[in-house]
Protein backbone atom coordinates (compact mmCIF):
# COMPACT_ATOMS: atom_id res chain seq x y z
CA UNK A 1 0.00 0.00 0.00
CA UNK A 2 1.25 3.45 -0.91
CA UNK A 3 1.11 6.44 1.42
CA UNK A 4 1.81 4.45 4.62
CA UNK A 5 3.84 7.27 6.18
CA UNK A 6 1.41 9.95 5.04
CA UNK A 7 -1.62 8.14 6.44
CA UNK A 8 0.13 7.68 9.77
CA UNK A 9 0.90 11.41 9.86
CA UNK A 10 -2.76 12.20 9.14
CA UNK A 11 -3.78 9.87 11.96
CA UNK A 12 -1.36 11.28 14.53
CA UNK A 13 -1.90 14.94 13.63
CA UNK A 14 -5.65 14.46 13.48
CA UNK A 15 -5.78 12.79 16.88
CA UNK A 16 -3.56 15.50 18.35
CA UNK A 17 -6.11 18.14 17.29
CA UNK A 18 -8.75 16.16 19.16
CA UNK A 19 -6.56 15.79 22.23
CA UNK A 20 -5.76 19.50 22.43
CA UNK A 21 -9.36 20.57 21.78
CA UNK A 22 -10.54 18.47 24.73
CA UNK A 23 -8.56 20.70 27.11
CA UNK A 24 -11.10 23.48 26.70
CA UNK A 25 -13.71 23.25 23.91
CA UNK A 26 -14.57 26.95 24.28
CA UNK A 27 -10.97 28.16 24.12
CA UNK A 28 -10.32 30.79 21.43
CA UNK A 29 -8.19 29.99 18.36
CA UNK A 30 -5.77 32.89 17.63
CA UNK A 31 -5.56 32.06 13.93
CA UNK A 32 -9.34 32.47 13.64
CA UNK A 33 -10.34 34.93 16.38
CA UNK A 34 -14.09 34.19 16.19
CA UNK A 35 -13.55 30.43 16.48
CA UNK A 36 -13.47 28.16 19.50
CA UNK A 37 -11.63 24.86 19.64
CA UNK A 38 -14.95 23.15 18.91
CA UNK A 39 -15.28 25.27 15.77
CA UNK A 40 -11.78 24.22 14.68
CA UNK A 41 -12.67 20.59 15.28
CA UNK A 42 -15.90 20.96 13.30
CA UNK A 43 -14.07 22.62 10.40
CA UNK A 44 -11.44 19.90 10.14
CA UNK A 45 -14.09 17.20 10.56
CA UNK A 46 -16.03 18.61 7.62
CA UNK A 47 -12.94 18.52 5.40
CA UNK A 48 -12.16 14.96 6.45
CA UNK A 49 -15.76 13.97 5.76
CA UNK A 50 -15.68 15.44 2.26
CA UNK A 51 -12.51 13.53 1.47
CA UNK A 52 -14.25 10.31 2.51
CA UNK A 53 -17.16 11.09 0.19
CA UNK A 54 -14.76 11.85 -2.66
CA UNK A 55 -13.13 8.44 -2.21
CA UNK A 56 -16.48 6.67 -2.12
CA UNK A 57 -18.39 8.60 -4.80
CA UNK A 58 -15.53 9.56 -7.18
CA UNK A 59 -17.19 12.88 -8.15
CA UNK A 60 -16.08 14.81 -11.21
CA UNK A 61 -17.43 18.12 -9.86
CA UNK A 62 -17.10 19.86 -6.51
CA UNK A 63 -19.20 18.46 -3.69
CA UNK A 64 -20.19 20.00 -0.38
CA UNK A 65 -18.46 19.08 2.85
CA UNK A 66 -20.70 17.41 5.45
CA UNK A 67 -21.37 19.39 8.62
CA UNK A 68 -21.57 18.35 12.25
CA UNK A 69 -25.02 16.76 12.58
CA UNK A 70 -27.36 18.69 14.85
CA UNK A 71 -27.37 17.29 18.36
CA UNK A 72 -24.27 15.12 17.86
CA UNK A 73 -21.21 15.47 20.06
CA UNK A 74 -18.49 17.25 18.08
CA UNK A 75 -15.70 15.18 19.58
CA UNK A 76 -17.32 11.82 18.90
CA UNK A 77 -18.24 12.87 15.37
CA UNK A 78 -14.74 14.13 14.62
CA UNK A 79 -13.05 10.98 15.92
CA UNK A 80 -15.38 8.75 13.95
CA UNK A 81 -14.96 10.86 10.80
CA UNK A 82 -11.16 10.78 11.07
CA UNK A 83 -11.08 7.02 11.50
CA UNK A 84 -13.51 6.42 8.65
CA UNK A 85 -11.55 8.67 6.28
CA UNK A 86 -8.22 6.97 7.00
CA UNK A 87 -9.74 3.53 6.49
CA UNK A 88 -11.33 4.68 3.24
CA UNK A 89 -8.06 6.14 1.96
CA UNK A 90 -6.31 2.87 2.79
CA UNK A 91 -8.81 0.96 0.66
CA UNK A 92 -9.03 3.38 -2.30
CA UNK A 93 -6.96 3.28 -5.48
CA UNK A 94 -4.64 6.32 -5.17
CA UNK A 95 -4.67 6.75 -8.96
CA UNK A 96 -8.47 6.93 -9.26
CA UNK A 97 -9.48 10.20 -11.01
CA UNK A 98 -11.72 12.49 -8.97
CA UNK A 99 -12.66 16.13 -8.60
CA UNK A 100 -10.08 18.29 -6.87
CA UNK A 101 -8.63 21.78 -6.72
CA UNK A 102 -6.09 21.03 -9.46
CA UNK A 103 -6.43 19.68 -12.99
CA UNK A 104 -6.06 15.95 -13.47
CA UNK A 105 -6.74 15.26 -9.80
CA UNK A 106 -6.60 11.75 -8.32
CA UNK A 107 -7.06 10.33 -4.83
CA UNK A 108 -3.33 10.90 -4.29
CA UNK A 109 -4.02 14.64 -4.29
CA UNK A 110 -6.43 14.19 -1.39
CA UNK A 111 -3.93 12.17 0.62
CA UNK A 112 -1.43 15.04 0.39
CA UNK A 113 -4.19 17.58 1.01
CA UNK A 114 -5.20 15.83 4.24
CA UNK A 115 -1.58 15.66 5.40
CA UNK A 116 -1.31 19.44 5.03
CA UNK A 117 -4.81 20.08 6.43
CA UNK A 118 -4.40 18.09 9.63
CA UNK A 119 -0.80 19.22 10.14
CA UNK A 120 -1.48 22.94 9.88
CA UNK A 121 -4.56 22.76 12.09
CA UNK A 122 -2.65 20.71 14.66
CA UNK A 123 -0.30 23.68 14.76
CA UNK A 124 -3.29 26.05 15.15
CA UNK A 125 -4.68 23.98 18.02
CA UNK A 126 -1.40 23.88 19.92
CA UNK A 127 -0.68 27.57 19.28
CA UNK A 128 -3.97 28.36 20.99
CA UNK A 129 -2.37 27.02 24.16
CA UNK A 130 0.99 28.74 23.58
CA UNK A 131 2.65 25.63 22.12
CA UNK A 132 4.37 26.25 18.80
CA UNK A 133 5.95 23.00 17.70
CA UNK A 134 7.19 23.06 14.10
CA UNK A 135 5.18 21.32 11.44
CA UNK A 136 6.07 17.69 10.84
CA UNK A 137 8.46 17.57 7.86
CA UNK A 138 6.01 15.39 5.94
CA UNK A 139 3.32 18.04 6.48
CA UNK A 140 5.54 20.93 5.37
CA UNK A 141 6.75 19.00 2.32
CA UNK A 142 3.19 18.11 1.28
CA UNK A 143 2.12 21.72 1.70
CA UNK A 144 5.01 23.17 -0.26
CA UNK A 145 4.61 20.59 -3.02
CA UNK A 146 0.93 21.38 -3.47
CA UNK A 147 1.18 25.16 -3.06
CA UNK A 148 1.64 26.08 -6.71
CA UNK A 149 -1.55 24.30 -7.71
CA UNK A 150 -3.61 24.69 -4.57
CA UNK A 151 -2.99 28.23 -3.32
CA UNK A 152 -0.98 30.24 -5.84
CA UNK A 153 -3.95 30.66 -8.25
CA UNK A 154 -5.88 32.34 -5.43
CA UNK A 155 -3.21 34.99 -5.02
CA UNK A 156 -3.50 36.34 -8.57
CA UNK A 157 -0.56 37.18 -10.79
CA UNK A 158 2.56 37.07 -8.60
CA UNK A 159 6.22 37.80 -9.31
CA UNK A 160 8.42 34.74 -9.19
CA UNK A 161 9.63 33.68 -5.75
CA UNK A 162 12.23 31.02 -4.99
CA UNK A 163 11.95 29.21 -1.66
CA UNK A 164 14.65 26.94 -0.26
CA UNK A 165 14.02 24.59 2.65
CA UNK A 166 17.35 24.55 4.48
CA UNK A 167 16.50 21.37 6.39
CA UNK A 168 15.40 19.41 3.31
CA UNK A 169 17.81 20.79 0.72
CA UNK A 170 14.88 21.34 -1.64
CA UNK A 171 13.79 24.39 -3.65
CA UNK A 172 10.44 25.51 -5.05
CA UNK A 173 9.73 28.34 -7.50
CA UNK A 174 6.30 29.97 -7.47
CA UNK A 175 4.96 32.77 -9.63
CA UNK A 176 5.86 33.91 -13.13
CA UNK A 177 8.81 35.57 -14.81
CA UNK A 178 12.45 35.55 -13.81
CA UNK A 179 13.05 34.88 -10.10
CA UNK A 180 12.54 38.25 -8.45
CA UNK A 181 13.31 37.24 -4.86
CA UNK A 182 14.50 34.32 -2.79
CA UNK A 183 13.73 33.31 0.77
CA UNK A 184 15.00 30.42 2.82
CA UNK A 185 14.20 28.73 6.10
CA UNK A 186 13.06 25.42 7.44
CA UNK A 187 10.26 23.76 5.50
CA UNK A 188 8.00 24.33 8.49
CA UNK A 189 8.72 28.07 8.65
CA UNK A 190 8.32 28.47 4.89
CA UNK A 191 4.95 26.77 4.76
CA UNK A 192 3.64 28.41 7.92
CA UNK A 193 4.41 31.84 6.48
CA UNK A 194 2.79 30.99 3.15
CA UNK A 195 -0.28 29.96 5.13
CA UNK A 196 -0.27 33.31 6.96
CA UNK A 197 0.95 31.88 10.27
CA UNK A 198 3.69 33.38 12.48
CA UNK A 199 7.13 32.43 11.19
CA UNK A 200 10.70 33.65 11.07
CA UNK A 201 10.49 33.79 7.25
CA UNK A 202 10.10 37.28 5.78
CA UNK A 203 8.33 37.36 2.43
CA UNK A 204 8.67 40.15 -0.15
CA UNK A 205 6.08 42.86 0.48
CA UNK A 206 3.86 41.95 -2.48
CA UNK A 207 3.84 38.30 -1.45
CA UNK A 208 3.17 39.08 2.20
CA UNK A 209 0.20 41.27 1.27
CA UNK A 210 -1.28 38.62 -1.01
CA UNK A 211 -0.80 35.75 1.44
CA UNK A 212 -2.20 37.69 4.38
CA UNK A 213 -5.08 39.02 2.28
CA UNK A 214 -6.64 35.62 1.58
CA UNK A 215 -10.03 35.25 3.23
CA UNK A 216 -10.18 32.75 6.10
CA UNK A 217 -12.56 29.79 5.88
CA UNK A 218 -16.11 30.53 7.07
CA UNK A 219 -16.92 29.76 10.67
CA UNK A 220 -18.52 26.30 10.94
Predicted TM-score of the model (pTM)? 0.96
Which regions of the chain carry the CATH code 1.20.120?
4-127
pLDDT digits (tens, 9 = 90+) for 14-33: 999 999 999 999 999 999 99
| Interval 204-211 mean pLDDT | 97
Band of pLDDT at residue 1, cut at 50, 70 and 90:
low
Q: Specify the pLDDT at position 179.
A: 72
Q: Specify the pLDDT at position 180.
A: 78
Phi, psi of 207, deg, nearest 5 = -70, -45
| Interval 94-104 mean pLDDT | 95
Phi, psi of 162, deg, nearest 5 = -100, 130
Helix H segments across the chain?
Answer: 4-21, 37-57, 74-91, 107-127, 137-150, 152-155, 187-194, 205-212
pLDDT at position 109 over 70 = yes
Correct CATH for 4-127 of 2.40.128, 1.20.120, 1.10.101, 2.60.120: 1.20.120
| Interval 129-152 mean pLDDT | 97
Correct CATH for 137-212 of 3.40.50.12780, 3.60.15.10, 3.30.930.10, 3.30.1050.20: 3.30.1050.20
* Nearest-5° Cα angle at 38, 34 to 44: 95
pLDDT at position 176 over 90 = no
Which regions of the chain carry the CATH code 3.30.1050.20?
137-212
Q: Specify the pLDDT at position 178.
A: 81
Q: Which of 212, 147, 154, 153 is nearest to 173 (CA)?
A: 147
Rounded Cα gap, residues 66 and 68, in angstroms = 7
DSSP letter, residue 28: E
Amino acid sequence: MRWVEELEVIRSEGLRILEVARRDPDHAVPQYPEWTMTDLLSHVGSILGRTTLICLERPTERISAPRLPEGEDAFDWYQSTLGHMIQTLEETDPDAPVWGFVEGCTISFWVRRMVAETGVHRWDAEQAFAEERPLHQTVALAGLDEYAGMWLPRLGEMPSLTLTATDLGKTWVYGSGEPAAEVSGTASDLYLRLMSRPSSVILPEVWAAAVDGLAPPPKP
